[in-house]
Amino acid sequence: MNDSTEKYLTLRGANNDIYFFQKRVNDTIAEVIGTNFIKKSLKTKILSEALAKRDEILDALANIEKLKLTNISDEVLNLFKDEDLSTEKLDQASYERSLQRRKVLIGLTSAVGIAGLPFAATPFIAAWNPSAKAKALGSSVKLDVSKMQYGQQIQVAWRKQPIFIIRHTSEALDQLDKSVPKLADPESLSIDEPYRGRFVTRSLNSEYSVLSGICTHLGCSPKYHPEVEPKPWDSSWNGGFFCPCHGSMFDLVGRVYKGVPAPSNLTVPPHFFEGSILTIGEERSNV
């Protein structure tokens, strides 16, 4: 592959599949898809097919870039859906237009919700984030987690980084011990673990995990796969996170597997709970 090809493709992967590796996008596109990068499996080992699919994705990005957010049509959004991009905000724009009309009618001043992808189950909760200026300053993020379903993961942004919140079922927590023999650091002894020993969730709550959504290998974003079933990357999968960039695996509370590229567990950001209100980015001395 030449230099221009290597910018967008990599052959690294569990089955030597070709991946659309890391493509930085502009602010307009990031508002639509909820991330500053595109990461995409092209689901082929044939370079010519991968290049053609890559070019289709780049064209779709260019179409979004030319439009204002409020003018993004369902046709353009469907372009993204057809590409099956690994993002969490593909339906944001159409929902936002509807919500803006509703604001005019009933005077709402709160922000926006979205529909997540069917398989990812990781909606990006824009309504719970502070303003862009506040985020740039590293402001804390507050959200009410009581509305989360059991087994669900949501994603918010803190300091321009994704943060995963997972509400675990009691059955999932009971199954965590089965993964321990596969884990490189089940007690998080090799990292600065802020709430070590409090709960198996690694957070300050026995039901929720609060984790950085950045893989500790090269900064990709692992995907949530809570199903207990054989997977291409692990025939005895007990649920957890899989990073499609280079194959790193983590259990449901973000502990890294042995023998994968990621060197350590997903980190836990400072946080605290007040009832069902979770604050990310601050700590309380009395917790």
Q: What is the pLDDT of residue 34?
A: 63
Are 139 and 272 in the same domain? yes
Q: Are residues 52 and 93 in the same domain?
A: yes
233 and 144 in a common domain = yes
Q: Which pLDDT belongs to residue 8?
A: 60
Q: Is residue 95 domain-shared with residue 131, that is, in the same domain?
A: no
Contact 183, 258 (CB under 8 A): yes
Confidence of residue 33 (pLDDT cuts 50, 70, 90): low
- Shared domain for 66 and 144, answered yes or no, is no
Q: Are residues 101 and 170 in the same domain?
A: no
47-51, 53-57, 73-77: range with lowest mean pLDDT: 73-77
- Answer for the pair 40, 19: CB distance below 8 angstroms, yes or no: yes
In a domain, 232, yes or no: yes
Number of domains in the chain: 2
My answer on whether 259 and 154 are in the same domain is yes
Residue 287 lies in a domain: no
The boundaries of the domain holding residue 99 are 3-106
One domain for residues 176 and 47? no
Q: Which of 51, 72, 106 is the last residue of a domain?
A: 106
- Does 235 reside within a domain? yes
- In a shared domain, residues 161 and 246: yes
Same domain, 132 and 200: yes
Q: Are residues 40 and 132 in the same domain?
A: no
State what percent of residues in the chain have pLDDT above 90. Answer: 37
Region of 254 on the Ramachandran plot (φ > 0 left; ψ -120 to 50 alpha; else beta): left
Kindly indicate the confidence band of residue 65, based on its pLDDT and cuts at 50, 70 and 90: confident
Please report whether residue 119 resides in a domain. no
Residue that is last in its domain, among 61, 77, 106: 106
Q: Is the residue at 120 inside a domain?
A: no
What is the spatial order of strands in the sheet that 161-167 belongs to?
Answer: 153-158, 161-167, 208-212
Q: What is the CATH number of the domain that holds 155?
A: 2.102.10.10
pTM for the predicted model, two decimal places: 0.54
Domain-terminating residue out of 106, 140, 171: 106
Quickly list H helices, 10-165: 27-33, 47-65, 74-83, 92-106, 132-136
Query: For residue 22, is it within any domain?
Result: yes
